[in-house]
Structure 1
């Protein structure tokens, strides 16, 4: 796989997510929650100064810095190493999501979240009485990247030669 294709994907996803966040910040604050896919996904605006579930609240800048370091590290890895297609795709999704939330934290002082799930909300309330956090496209990119990485892991323990081949 061409080493620049994953970087192009990161750039396209980053721009798309930042445009969605700009639209959400401009359009959604004055509106109540709006169904996007009834029962599954709603538009619901909030600014998040921490992480999901209120963790590390008001640590926007350190979290943005950490996200930026992760994004840059993944981009450097994609530039310097050859990864198998699925691994490169997963790392691209992770880099775009981390980079987008980092840009948000550094430029807005908070991450724009604009999606909520009534279904996940109900399940989460059953488990611990709390609503499921509002999230954004970048969060979905990170989750998809992690899931793809896990799915692309070898099913057996690879030999040293296979490990070298995976990294090339």
Structure 2
């Protein structure tokens, strides 16, 4: 697994259903190393700290391989790196093979896999199409949240080197499916 883009976003206000919504989901690739801190990526904006950022959701990783699936549903959309709100776009992140607790060294940082990402309406705002939320739910292409065990810089091209494997723990896909079941989706 390798980083193909590091992505940051600024606070953005969007009109949605007659209300102003503040979001940090509009992330774009940057051409510089980014610093992974204990609760977020330095220089990135998180507007909803209740559901994003913090110790267990400090970094969001998403696979470039998943982009192709969603391009089928949204062929006229420009799929820029970071469109799913991820901080790290990787070449191949497979939620069915990554277990909660798996730990990786990448760049100067050490990251531990914690949780899947559950989509909300702000993903629909980013895509300008609320159908993406259900399309996202109907896959296991949820991406991975990471806890930062060691802070540090990462950059495009850095490779994830697994330093701890937790095969007895559930995969991220298993946790995501369990969340579906709990919510009756």
TM range (shorter): under 0.3
Q: Highest CA radius of gyration, 1 or 2? A: 1
TM-score w.r.t. structure 1 length? 0.25
**Higher strand content, 1 or 2:** 2
**Higher helix content, 1 or 2:** 1
TM-score w.r.t. structure 2 length? 0.23
